[in-house]
Each structure stands twice: as structure tokens, then as C-alpha cells.
Amino acid sequence: MRKIEVVQGILDANDATAEGNRATFDANGCLAVNIMASPGAGKTSFILRTIEGLSRDTRIAVIEGDMASTVDAEKVQGAASAVVQINTKGMPESCALVADMVHVALSRLPLDQLDVVLIENVGNLLCPAEFNLGEHLRIVVSSTPEGDDKPIKYPLIFADADAVVINKSDLLPYVDFDMDRFTQEVRNLNPRVRFFPLSCKTGEGVAEWVAWLHDQRPSG
Amino acid sequence: MHEYGITESLLHIVEEKAKEAGATRVATIRVVVGALTGFVPDCIQFYYETMSKGTVAEGAALEFEELPVTLRCRKCAEVFVPESRVWVCPKCDSTEVDIEGGRELYIKEMEVS
């Protein structure tokens, strides 16, 4: 019996594929945005609002990740320049997108004709945090009815976010969501994060988010 | 929930390393898992038993070493293991912290023959 030192990360293969995806996005001048949230936080409505806000001068594609169905892809079909649906059911990971799935999706997108790729991750606050997809921005969409304790329960996803969107701001008068507590909890983990309270239903606050996202594009 | 793919990657690395070492049997695999990751060792074990059948690593014992969350205070640079889910520096009471450890997921070593 002998011992072999290994010290090799189990996610190294995923990270290498993610690096490749990142290089592909960069070569085509595309901004890649990984959108993560719980089920029902409003990811798809948020994507529709984002496309609506950006689209005058921006060509946008959406990669939809879901356990099953093409419901979300159908919703964004008319709005985006291109949509690719990935159903994760039956795949090695069904709870999150992994870099390889995005790699496959990229081969089905006209990247040279796109400015922004929005990646809608599988609804889940735990697993998507672990997998790098090669994105430029990691966005967490939280919503007021979910409660203000999510950053305490799922620290990793908030610690790595570039921006946190607080959706369903129109429901603030009806739910017990302490905005100051929530933003403080996230800042404790991540002092550089940006917050965008907004309502995809009323459109309130969407303009601020869209303006920020627009400024993140390689061309500015 | 995402242990299936993790186990697959793990087995892939183990088989590769065993081959490099010219081993015919893997007895033990030591895996380091950070407390912040959502990985459940029992779940990796469950998939491992099925997946490793017929490989050089069939029947190997998986040993997990869990590393705690360690934080670094941004104010006073104290490195500490938080006592609760509320992350507060024990030295200066600041809640502004950076994650130092707890995200790990790697194979540390293997015993082969």
C-alpha cells in the first residue's frame, strides 16, 4: 500500500470548460450574465424586463436552464434575438447549469451577432453557486416574499454576486421584508455588491438596473 | 443534489491518478469538503458505490475531511471560525468579513496498491 498526493479540485474540469466559454464570449464581444434565483423569484419576468429595457441598441440571446419544459423559452422567444433551451432533467446535474451545458448552448447561438447573453440558471440558491459557467456577471434575483433571511441561509451565492436584484418591490407593504436588514446581510458577505430593488410587475426601478447593465458591456 | 456529476468527476480523477501510479487497486480516497459547499458526503458515497463498479477504484473507502468556514475580518484582519450563522468578528465585533475557507472540494490523497 502506498500513498499518492493528489490535491486536485473536483470542479477543475468544470472550471476549465468555463474558462473556454469565457474566451468564446470575449472573442465575440458578448457580455455573459448568469442569473440565479429561487424558483418563483421572477427570473423570467426579470429577463423580459431587461430585454425590453436594453433592446433598442442591443442584440440579446437567452440561454434557459430548467429541469424540464420549454415554458420559459416560449415566454422569451418573441423578445430576444435568439433563445436556447437546456433541459437539465436526466443530465448529470439537474439542479444547476454547469459549464459544459453552456458550452453546448453556445454552439447554437450566432455569437458574432450578439451583444449580451442572459443565462437563466435553474431555480435554486444552493447548487448554481458552485458552478462557474464562464460568465462575466453573476446576478442573484431575490424577491421580497421570500424573506430577508436568504443571505444568512445561502451565503455563498450572495458572497459571489456582482449585483443583487430585489424583485417584487411593489409587495413591500404587504410582506415582512426588512430591506435594511437584507442589504446589510449581503454587504457583510460582499461589500462591492450593487443592489437593485425593482418590480417587474410595475416596472419601478428597472431603468436603474438596465442602465447599470448597459455600462457593463465591453463597449460601455 | 449535484453530487452525481461531482462523483463522476471524482472517479475520473481517481482513475487517472491510479493509472499514472501504475496501481491495480485503490483502497482509500481522502476528499476535503468545505462547509460552505452544499455537498453531502453520504450522497457522494451512494453514487460512488454504483459508479465505481468494475473500475480500479471499486470498493475504495471514501474518507471525508470537512473544513470549517473560516473568515477574515476586514477591519482587524482576525481570522476566525464563526460560532453561529451570524458572522461577527470575535475580536472587534465587526460584521464585515471575507470568506477565507469553506469553499474547498478536492481530492487530497489516495492509498493504492
Minimal C-alpha gap between A181 and chain B (Å): 12
Are the CB atoms for A190 and A183 separated by under 8 Å? Answer: no
This prediction has a pTM of 0.90
B73 within some domain: no
| Residue A220: pLDDT over 50 | no
Q: What domain range includes position B41? A: 3-68+102-112
Minimal C-alpha gap between A23 and chain B (Å): 23
The domain total for chain B is 1
Task: Look at residue A92 in the predicted model and tell me its pLDDT.
Answer: 64
**B50 contact A CB<8A:** no
**A6 contact B CB<8A:** yes
CATH of the domain at B43: 3.30.2320.50
Per-residue pLDDT, averaged over A77-103, amounts to 83
Q: What domain range includes position A125? A: 12-213
Question: In sequence order, what are the residues at sequence separation of 6 or more whose Cβ sits closer than 8 angstroms to the Cβ of residue A170?
Answer: A199, A201, A202, A204
- Whether residue A10 and residue B37 make contact (CB cut-off 8 A), yes or no, is no
Tell me, what amino acid is at A152? Answer: I
A193 within some domain: yes
Q: Name residue B101's beta-bridge partners.
A: B70
Residue range A23-77, pLDDT digits in tens: 999 999 999 999 999 999 999 999 999 999 997 789 999 999 877 777 777 888 8
B86 within some domain: no
Task: Look at residue A219 in the predicted model and tell me its pLDDT.
Answer: 64
Residue range A136-174, pLDDT digits in tens: 999 999 999 999 999 988 999 999 999 999 999 999 999
CATH of the domain at A192: 3.40.50.300
A6 within some domain: no
- Whether residue B110 and residue A159 make contact (CB cut-off 8 A), yes or no, is no
Alpha-carbon distance B94 to A212, whole Å? 30
C-alpha angle B61-B65-B66 in degrees, rounded to nearest 5 = 140
Task: Look at residue A57 in the predicted model and tell me its pLDDT.
Answer: 81
Per-residue pLDDT, averaged over A84-91, amounts to 78
The domain total for chain A is 1
C-alpha angle A116-A119-A121 in degrees, rounded to nearest 5 = 165
Per-residue pLDDT, averaged over B10-32, amounts to 96
Q: Name residue A5's beta-bridge partners.
A: B109
- List CB contacts (< 8 A) between B9 and chain A: 10-14
Task: Look at residue A93 in the predicted model and tell me its pLDDT.
Answer: 64
The beta-carbon neighbor of A127 closest among B17, B27, B38 is B38
B:55-94 residues touching chain A, CB 8 A cutoff: 74, 85-87
Q: Please, what is the average pLDDT of chain A?
A: 92
**B111 contact A CB<8A:** yes
- List CB contacts (< 8 A) between B96 and chain A: 187-188, 191
Task: Look at residue A55 in the predicted model and tell me its pLDDT.
Answer: 77
Task: Look at residue B1 in the predicted model and tell me its pLDDT.
Answer: 57
Q: Which residue has the higher pLDDT, A68 or A130?
A: A130
B94 within some domain: no
Task: Look at residue A189 in the predicted model and tell me its pLDDT.
Answer: 86
Distances from the Cα of B59 to the Cαs of A185, B28, B40, B67, B109, in angstroms? 44, 9, 19, 25, 16
A90 within some domain: yes
- Whether residue B13 and residue A6 make contact (CB cut-off 8 A), yes or no, is yes
- List CB contacts (< 8 A) between A98 and chain B: 5
Of the candidates B66, B63, B71, B67, the residue with the CA atom closest to the CA atom of residue B92? B71
Per-residue pLDDT, averaged over A120-134, amounts to 92
A220 within some domain: no
Nearest residue in B to A126, CA atom: B38
**A67 contact B CB<8A:** no
**Local confidence band at A17 (pLDDT 50, 70, 90 cut-offs):** very high
B46 within some domain: yes
Residue range B70-84, pLDDT digits in tens: 999 999 999 999 987
- List CB contacts (< 8 A) between B99 and chain A: 155, 159, 189
